[in-house]
Structure 1
Amino acid sequence: MTTTNAYGQPLGDPVPDWAPAGLPDAVTVPGRYCTLELLDPDRHAEDLYAAYAAAPDARDWTYLPVGPFPTPRSYRDWAIAAAKTRDPRHYAVIDNATGRALGTLSLMRHDPANGVIEVGYVVFSRALQRTPASTEAQFLLMRYAFDDLGYRRYEWKCDSLNEPSRKAAERLGFTYEGTFRQVVVYKGRNRDTAWYALTDHDWPPVRDAFEKWLDPANFDTDGRQRDPLRTR
Structure 2
Amino acid sequence: MTTTPRYNQFDQPIGRPVENWKPATLPPYTAMTGTHCRVEPIDPARHTNDLFEGNRVAATGERFTYLPYDAFEDVETYQTWLDNMRGPDPMLHAIIDLATDKAVGIAAFLRPDTTHGTIEVGHINYTPALSHTIAGTEAMYLMMKRAFDELGYRRYEWKCDDQNAPSRTAATRYGFVYEGTFRQHMVYKGRNRDSAWFSILDQEWPLVRAAFETWLNPENFDANGKQVKSLQTLRTELAEHQG
Q: Give the structure-1-normalised TM-score.
A: 0.97
Q: CA deviation at 1:109?
A: 0.8
SS in 2 for 1:13: coil
* Counterparts of 1:57 and 1:138, CA distance in 2: 26
Q: Shift in Å at residue 26 of structure 1?
A: 3.7
Match of 1:37 among 16, 34, 40: 40
Alignment-derived partner of residue 25 in structure 1: 28
Cα distance in 1, alignment partners of residues 222 and 60 from structure 2: 31
Alpha-carbon distance in 2 for matches of 1:26, 1:211: 24
Q: What is the alpha-carbon distance in structure 1 between the residues aligned to residue 218 and residue 70 of structure 2? A: 35
Aligned residue pairs total: 231
Secondary structure at the residue paired with 1:47? helix
- Counterpart of 1:167 in structure 2 is 169
Code of the residue aligned with 1:121 in structure 2: it is H
The reply on whether 1:79 has 2:82 as its aligned counterpart is: yes
Q: Which runs of 5+ in 2 are unaligned?
A: 237-243
Summarize the alignment of residues 1-20 of structure 1 with structure 2, pairs less than 5 Å apart.
1-20=4-23
Structure 2 distance, partners of 1:216, 1:35, is 18
How far, CA to CA, are the matches of 1:13 and 1:41 in structure 2? 45
Could you tell me how far apart the structure 1 residues matched to 2:62 and 2:8 are?
53
Equivalent residue runs for 1:136-215 within 5 Å = 136-215=138-217
Distance, in Å, in 2 between the alignment partners of 1:225 and 1:73 is: 39
Cα distance in 1 for partners of 2:187, 2:132 equals: 30
Partner of residue 61, structure 2 = 58
Distance 2:103 2:223 in 1: 24
CA distance in 2, matches of 1:24, 1:66: 25
The percent of aligned pairs where both chains have the same amino acid is 48
Runs (4+) off by over 3 Å: none
**Whole-angstrom distance in 1 between the partners of 2:194 and 2:146:** 29
Superimposed CA distance per residue, residues 200-225 of structure 1 (whole angstroms, 9 cap, x where no aligned partner): 01100000000000011112233221
